[in-house]
Amino acid sequence: MSVNIAQLLALPYLQHFFPQKDIELLENVRRTVEQNVAPVVEAGSNYADALDHMTNLEQDMYEISSATVDHSTTLQETAQIDIAASRNWFMFAIALGLVAIFYLITHQRHAYVSRRDRHMRSFASLFAHMTRSRVTALRLFLEGTGSEQPPREEMLKAARSAANELESINDGLLKIAFSQRDSHVLPLAKLLLDLKDRDGIVQLSVDSEAGTQAVPATQFQLVLSELVQNALTAVENTDRPSVVVKASVVHRPIFRRNVLFLEVADNGVGMTPEVLRKAKTPFFSTRAGNHVGLGLTGCSQMVATLNGRLFIDSKPGAGTVVKVRIPIGA
């Protein structure tokens, strides 16, 4: 008994289970056993002296046992409370996770709808931008046919030209509309070779990795054709016209993705700061009714559908550089 009580008193966490009064009772029981009972037992005589202390020991042990039972019950209830609290926290975490998932799904759905609506608005504005002047020309022609005199040859020529332009625009817009469904891919080098002009103004600078990169054919054809045509128009009145198309792949291991860089640079007339600010604005054009391509607005939006970005750097008299940055597979 003395050894067991000593070990119990030596427990470091005893203070958390027993109040100070019960600890003092344990120490008193140990002292009584060691000083008054153990010597009598070892001597083997005068057992009556030891029995005189047993009544007090019995009372003290009873009080300690009662306290132990009470503390045990309290500990069990505390454990049940802790278990219930842990279960409640677990359920709360699950509920919070479900709320987060529901929010993400709702947010993604809203973003998808918003992006789709934005694309539809952009497509509609692009269609209006491309067809407005041609429709006006045809309307004027039809008004002129109501007179007694037959339409002049220049009016017929303008009407035929407007009709051809409208047909070309419709073909291009159909390609844009269904470009997301077109899974046709080609090496970038093949698409770039088709851009070289007969006069040798367009020069290509493509590294081997970029040239073999498979890209969506329709989207890249539309963007590259527009950028090169813009550059050729800008250098029409330049003494030594030059259009350089560059393509390279930059590896970014930190982000676990690679980036395809395209650059179309010319030494043409360039853009004023005011024109540069409006370059990506819908309905804005410096070529009036002679433009049947995407325009820089359409190019920027088409690049955005490929998760890329388009940048323009231009100065009057120094030329224009259009850079396209598109992420590709690692």
CATH number of the domain within which 273 lies: 3.30.565.10
Of 45, 70, 89, the domain-final residue: 89
Burial of 176 (0-12, 13-18, 19+ CB in 10 A): buried
The H-or-E segment that residue 4 falls in is helix 2-9
Question: Is 132 domain-assigned?
Answer: no
200 and 325 together in one domain: yes
Residue 6 contacts residue 27 (beta carbons within 8 Å):
no
Which pLDDT value is given to residue 319?
92
Distance (Å, rounded) from C-alpha 192 to C-alpha 200? 14
Residue 259 in contact with residue 250, Cβ under 8 Å?
Answer: yes
* Distance of alpha carbon 301 from the chain centroid: 18
Last residue of a domain, one of 54, 73, 89: 89
- For residues 327 and 203, membership in a common domain is answered with yes
214: exposed, middle or buried (Cβ count in 10 Å: 0-12, 13-18, 19+): exposed
Residue 189 lies in a domain: yes
Q: What is the tens place of the pLDDT at every residue in 140-191?
A: 676 666 656 676 777 777 777 777 767 666 666 665 555 555 557 889 988 8
Question: Which has the closest alpha carbon to 264: 238, 235, 239, 292?
Answer: 235
DSSP character string of 212-274: T-EEEHHHHHHHHHHHHHHHHHHTTT-SS--EEEEEEEEEETTTTEEEEEEEEEE-S----HH
Q: How many domains does the chain fold into?
A: 2
Q: Which amino acid type is present at position 92?
A: F
CA distance 141 to 163: 11
Last residue of a domain, one of 89, 105, 132: 89
- One-letter amino acid for residue 267 of the chain: N
Residue 326 lies in a domain: yes
Instruction: Decide if 159 is inside a domain.
Output: no
pLDDT in tens, 90-131: 999 999 999 999 998 988 888 777 766 666 566 556 666 666
Asked, for residue 309, whether it belongs to a domain, the answer is yes
Write out residues in the chain with pLDDT < 70, as ranges: 16-17, 64-75, 115-134, 136-137, 140, 142-149, 151, 165, 167-183, 197-198, 255-256, 281-294, 330
- pTM for the whole structure: 0.51
232-245: burial string, b at 16+ Cβ within 10 Å, e else = bbbbeeeeebbbbb
Residue 55 lies in a domain: yes
Q: Is residue 265 part of a domain?
A: yes
Tell me which residue range forms the domain holding 63: 2-89
| Distance separating alpha carbons of residues 69 and 288, to the nearest angstrom | 96
**What span, in angstroms and rounded, lies between the C-alpha atoms of 299 and 129?**
14
- The predicted pLDDT at position 320 comes to 93
Position 183 scores a pLDDT of 58
Q: Is 102 exposed, middle or buried (0-12, 13-18, 19+ CB in 10 A)?
A: exposed
Q: What is the largest CA-CA distance in the chain?
A: 152
Q: Is residue 148 part of a domain?
A: no
Q: H or E element: which one contains 134?
A: helix 47-144
